[in-house]
Chain A
Amino acid sequence: MKNTLLFLLTFCILTFCIAQEKAKATLPAVDIKTLDGKTFNTRNIQNEGKPILISLWATWCKPCVAELNAIGDVYDEWREETGVVLYAISIDDTRTSAKVAPFVNGKGWEYIVLQDINGDLKRAMNVVDVPFLCLLNGKREIVWQHTSYAPGSEKEVFELVKKVAKEEESNN
């Protein structure tokens, strides 16, 4: 066991040495599914240089649904002002995966909904628990990530989205 711990420490120190330059990760390219059951690679998540929000959620997760409901109430405004698009990626497994489409429709959400049925994207993004919200800039770089939801936190999200949208505009 000592060896393993030593290995870990070495790894940490090595990382520390390498970590001189910080870079932004892009969204991992992983095969997930559309609601039609087709394979969809996350590298196809695009929004013509405008900001993208990725929400990992599940039908059984109350705070996830509360967050998507709260954003849903102001989504039209967000879109108009910043051009942001939200991809709601459900991590529901086979137990509930076939019920995601009727659930989303029942809510009247306008998001693009995808399915990560065996948690492949969740793992590639190192997500521990849902809800998990992630903001990408026009180059699809991850600029901000957040876990858990409390009523009112969508306000901070919008400020960040606006900031990214502005940066993208000035870049173009």
Chain B
Amino acid sequence: MGYKLQVTSDKHKILAHLHICSLIFLLSAFLLFCSSTSFAQIKAGTGIISGDFSFNAMLYIQDTIIGAQQVDSKVRGNAWLNLNYTNGGFSSGARYEFYLFPLIDFQNIGYRGQGITHFFADYKNDFIQVTGGYYYEQFGQGLTFRAYEDRNLGIDNSLLGGRVKVNPYKGIQLKGIWGIERHNFNFNYSQRNDNVRGLDAEIALADFISKLENKGITLTMGGSFVSRFEKAEDKMFDIYIDTSKYFYYYNYHAISDFTATDKPNVIRCQGVIPSENIPQNVASWATRLNFGVKRFRLEGEFTSKINDPNLSNDYIYKKGEALLLTASYSMKGLGISASFLRADNMDFRSQRNASPAFAALTMNYIPAINRQYSYQLLGNYSYASQPSGQIGLQGQINYLIPKKTKVGGKYGTEITLNYARFNDIRKSFVPLSDTIGTITGTEGYTSKFFGFGKNLLYQDIGFDISRRFNKYWKLMLMYNYINYNMSLQGKNGILKGNHVGFELTYKIKDIHALRVENQFLFIPRKIDLEDKDKGSWCFLLVEYSIAPKWFVTVSDQWHFGNEKQLHYPNAAVAFVNNTTRISLNFGKTRAGILCVGGVCRTVPASYGLGLSITTTF
């Protein structure tokens, strides 16, 4: 045993050593590359090579007060190098990702490894496009299929396989895809038992019916079909049943064994859902519409998925469905939009046992539709989309009080009003589940399509007003009231808060500007939350910029309403030269969630020195 431990620790040392070497190596390789290209595109033969590089590293410091844990390697970093070659209609490319000692939040979601994670060759002309290798694709609004990448969240759902796009006639586009979905850094594709195939067609009707175009009507329609194959295996189960309530359980499943327990009437049942009862092919289809007449527009997509027992739905056989509808009316100076979203059992992944806690292996995209705030204090209470069950709506008005009027001022005044609400869906569990004590293996539940569930998940109402007074001063004021169900972060209680703030920009000289942001999030003390979530917050940021190259920022988040009165100070310097951005920051980050596009992941509290380099060449 002792010997084994010795080996592990040696291995660890070697790895740590290797890791610092690799980081240095990677950086120097990149610098060599940059010096060779001088940030200009390169001509290779008659083609052109271009690419991008990003490197984010952090030196972690332990801070028990904010909960920043000691991490096993203090220096961690993510690096990514993309190279593309284009020659007329032909293009190809490859990406190298180095996440062997990734930033701690990437480590936590299992996005860890290194290698050539992406390569492709692509040919296209006016009629056809053919792609082989890894590719990204979206059908319609993505409710049934979306392969995409977001490196800030550690999401890469690209498919490895082939794709064909055909434009047989003006206004018509057809797509066909086949592939195996990327799963973080697991490259054992030969051992994979799953794949994805799909077809999509879209037609722009206004291109065919000139009458429509003359009347100012635009109409685009589309439909898609996606199927996932995964070899079925027997699903074992091991559950405890109260025989006084759920006597009939024995009759339902193939129980191989049951044993008595300490508690009266409770028995332990072990058994198997045989593989022939688990669908290997799961089909999903979607239909969509984009209709516009003059200032009015309606955009929507509906999707449905056949029985797909999987980990996210407790292995039930119910169908899944989702609808996203947005109507809008807009003219110069005014935009009004209203959206509706319902998703029920639409967590669609290429493996049925994939954990719903992570974004990996997701095949579709059910977005959150609430307004995406860039305000620091609300960032931690961003709504995370619930593909398994949510119903919600959002309305927004953007209005510009005209320029050169008394009320609007010389430059006009912008006003945005916004409301959003999400609830869970109403479920009536099937009687059989009551009889047998579990929904696993049954139809699960029924749910009324437009029924809002009892539990509020998220709500916000607010406005902001932004006005430029003259060449030098610009002011923005904002107010929001939010309700956020802490169950979205696995906690109890509903947070209620008033968010007020302002942002002032002062252009000192031509290219020198000062920006001050001050926000408060008032959370009443009487709300029942976990201790560390209790109490109000304050955020202050001061940024001085010299356009277009320099940014210096200092900020602090202060949890002043909490007993602990924690501060999260930060200081950052950024230098930008055309497409290269280098930034250095030092400070503390609070534990919370990071969301982009309604897809979120948790971020642990951290403290340390960060370096980020990104460039496009």
A positions within 8 Å CB-CB of B:
1, 4-5, 7-9, 11-13, 15-16, 18-19, 21-25, 28-29, 31, 36-39, 59-62, 66, 73, 93-99, 101-108, 117-120, 123-129, 132, 142, 144-153, 155-156
> How far is it, in angstroms, between the C-alpha of A149 and the C-alpha of B511 when the chains are bound?
11
| Contacts A15-B37, A25-B50, A142-B41 given; does A8 touch B96 at CB 8 Å | yes
A17 CB to nearest B CB, Å: 9
A84 CB to nearest B CB, Å: 18
Top 8 nearest A-B pairs (CB, nearest first) are A106-B398, A102-B335, A37-B290, A23-B43, A106-B335, A98-B326, A95-B367, A153-B548
Does B608 make an interface contact (CB < 8 A)?
A: no
Contact A15 B511 (CB under 8 A): no
Contact B218 A19 (CB under 8 A): no
| Contacts A19-B37, A101-B297, A106-B399 given; does A39 touch B202 at CB 8 Å | yes
> How far is it, in angstroms, between the C-alpha of A32 and the C-alpha of B396 when the chains are bound?
25
Partner of B398, one of A31, A105, A124, A147: A105
Contact A156 B328 (CB under 8 A): no
Does B427 make an interface contact (CB < 8 A)?
A: no
Partner of A103, one of B26, B43, B335: B335
Does B334 make an interface contact (CB < 8 A)?
A: yes
- B18 cross-chain contacts in A, Cβ below 8 A: 1
> How far is it, in angstroms, between the C-alpha of A56 and the C-alpha of B121 when the chains are bound?
25
Pull 15 A–B residue pairs with CB atoms less than 8 Å apart, ordered by A: A4-B116, A19-B37, A36-B220, A95-B368, A98-B299, A102-B396, A105-B330, A106-B335, A108-B332, A118-B146, A119-B136, A120-B136, A126-B50, A132-B579, A150-B511
B positions within 8 Å CB-CB of A:
18, 22, 25-26, 29, 32-33, 36-38, 40-45, 48-52, 54, 81-84, 86, 89, 91, 96, 100, 114-116, 124, 136-138, 141-143, 146, 148-149, 165, 171, 173, 202, 204, 206-207, 218, 220, 290, 292, 297, 299, 324, 326, 328-337, 339, 365, 367-369, 372-374, 396-400, 403, 411-412, 414, 416, 505, 507, 510-513, 515, 545-548, 550-551, 574, 576, 578-581, 597-598, 614-617
Contact A38 B142 (CB under 8 A): no
Contact A152 B146 (CB under 8 A): no
Contact B396 A99 (CB under 8 A): yes
CB-based nearest B residue for A18: B44
Contact B597 A1 (CB under 8 A): no
Contact B44 A128 (CB under 8 A): no
> How far is it, in angstroms, between the C-alpha of A97 and the C-alpha of B339 when the chains are bound?
11
CB-based nearest A residue for B510: A152
Contact B43 A21 (CB under 8 A): yes
Contact B36 A16 (CB under 8 A): yes
| Contacts A36-B292, A147-B576 given; does A98 touch B511 at CB 8 Å | no
| Contacts A95-B598, A119-B136 given; does A102 touch B330 at CB 8 Å | yes
> How far is it, in angstroms, between the C-alpha of A23 and the C-alpha of B597 when the chains are bound?
36
- B580 cross-chain contacts in A, Cβ below 8 A: 147
> How far is it, in angstroms, between the C-alpha of A118 and the C-alpha of B329 when the chains are bound?
24
Contact A155 B547 (CB under 8 A): yes
> How far is it, in angstroms, between the C-alpha of A23 and the C-alpha of B47 when the chains are bound?
9
Contact A1 B399 (CB under 8 A): no
Contact B142 A94 (CB under 8 A): yes
> How far is it, in angstroms, between the C-alpha of A37 and the C-alpha of B290 when the chains are bound?
6
- B372 cross-chain contacts in A, Cβ below 8 A: 59-60, 95-96
Contact B148 A118 (CB under 8 A): yes
- A93 cross-chain contacts in B, Cβ below 8 A: 142, 148, 365, 367, 597
Contact A37 B299 (CB under 8 A): yes
CB-based nearest B residue for A60: B372
CB-based nearest B residue for A92: B597
| Contacts A25-B86, A106-B400, A118-B146 given; does A126 touch B617 at CB 8 Å | yes
B96 CB to nearest A CB, Å: 6
> How far is it, in angstroms, between the C-alpha of A149 and the C-alpha of B29 when the chains are bound?
29
Among A13, A66, A97, A147, the most chain B Cβ lie within 10 Å of the Cβ of A147
Contact A1 B29 (CB under 8 A): no
- B616 cross-chain contacts in A, Cβ below 8 A: 125-128, 132, 145, 147
- Beyond A8-B26, A31-B173: 11 further Cβ-contacts under 8 Å? A1-B22, A4-B115, A37-B220, A59-B372, A98-B326, A106-B335, A106-B398, A147-B579, A148-B574, A150-B548, A150-B550
